[in-house]
Amino acid sequence: MSRIGKNPVTVPAGITLTTDGQKVSVQGPKGTLEFTIPSNVTGKLDGEQFVLTPVNTSKEARSMWGMSRTMVANLIEGVTNGYTKNLELRGVGYRAQMKGSTLNLQLGLSHDVNYEAPEGINIAVPKATEINVTGINKQMVGQVAAEIRAYRKPEPYKGKGIRYVGEFVRQKEGKKK
C-alpha cells in the first residue's frame, strides 16, 4: 500500500479546495490551480482534510494514489507560497539580463540566447550571474529552469555553464603529459 497516499492533505485557512468529479481546483492568495485525479483514485473533502483512496488494489491504482496525493499537496503549496528555482552562471563572460519579459543570455556563443518567459512564470536577474525562476506551478518552474540550464550545461573539466544553486559538478582531471 502507498505510504504517501495514506496521509490526508491538510487544507490551510485561506485556501479554497473544490472538487467537481475527478477535477480538483485549489484557489489561494497567489492564484488558482487545477488537477484531474486519475480514474482509479477517488478524493473527498472531510472538513479541513482532503482524503484520497484507491478504487481497487491493482498496482496502477496504488501508484496513482500516492502520485495524486502529492499533486494535490503541490497545488496547495503552490497557491500558498509558490515555487522558486535559482540558477547561477559560471564562466568568463557569461551574463544574463532581462529585457522586458525576455531573458537575454550571453553564454560564449556566437549569438545571444533569448528566452521568452511563459505565462505564469516570473524570471528575475538580481545579479548578472544569477537567475531566479518563480511561479505557482511546480512542474512549470522546474521545466523553465531545465530549459534555461540546457542552453549551456555545466561541463566537467572547468565547470563552466549554467547550474542550479548548490548543484555539485564533479570535476575531471583532464589530460596529462
- Domains of the chain are 3-80 (3.90.930.12), 83-164 (3.90.930.12)
Q: Which three cell numbers stand for residue 141?
A: 518552474
User: pLDDT tens digits for 77-88?
Assistant: 999 999 999 999
d(CA 31, CA 140): 15
Given a cut of 60, whether residue 102 has pLDDT beyond it is yes
75 phi and psi, to 5 degrees? -60, -45
What pLDDT is stored for residue 15 in this prediction? 92
Give the whole-angstrom CA distance, residue 154 versus residue 172: 12
Q: Beta-carbon neighbour count of residue 103 at 10 Å?
A: 22
With 90 as the cut, is the pLDDT of residue 164 above it?
yes
Question: What is the model's pTM?
Answer: 0.89
